[in-house]
Amino acid sequence: MDTTLVASVNNILVVENSQLKVTLAEGLIGCEMWREFVLEAPHDLAPLMYLHSLDQADLTFIVTHPRYILPLYHVDLSESDKKVLGNPTPAELATVVIVNSARRGEGQVVTANLLGPIMINLTTGSGRQVIQPDHSARHLLSETPLC
């Protein structure tokens, strides 16, 4: 597995066709059984990435860095969060949010979960989903009518 995904600039991933194994010791909120993932950053998909579950083979999330959505987005980490993540330096820490697509009425909406970003220590692969109460789990990115 290529592990060139080892740096971030202002928490935005610097990627080149790379993969990183990510372990969320507590799982995703509401889905604690999903703990082991591979973050894949295909160059041609940037700024989107895949978060493939190793616990459930048919489960893949599309993720991106929240600053592509809100340039001033900031995650407040508690001391507990930092400890679970292995006390990373800012350069070792990256943030991703899950992007969702769903039908709404006669159209399709794309949203991002800014309420529950996933923080990743790029050195160890440890991660944690953290709650940011000032944000929405369904931040609207796009809404288009279905033909």
Domains for the chain: give ranges and CATH numbers: 8-98+114-133 (2.30.290.10)
pLDDT score recorded for residue 106: 78
pLDDT score recorded for residue 27: 93
Higher pLDDT, 137 or 15: 137
pLDDT score recorded for residue 10: 52
CA distance 44 to 1: 18
Query: Within 13 Å of residue 131, how many CA atoms lie on the same side as its CB?
Result: 3
**pLDDT tens digit sequence for 35-48:** 999 999 888 888 89
Q: Indicate the pLDDT class of residue 56, thresholds 50, 70 and 90.
A: very high
Q: Which of 142, 46, 51, 35 is nearest to 96 (CA)?
A: 51
Q: Which of 88, 6, 68 is nearest to 41 (CA)?
A: 6
pTM of structure = 0.85
**pLDDT tens digit sequence for 81-139:** 999 999 999 888 999 999 998 887 778 889 999 999 999 998 999 999 999 999 999 89
pLDDT score recorded for residue 83: 95
Q: Where are the alpha helices (DSSP H) in 70-134?
A: 79-84
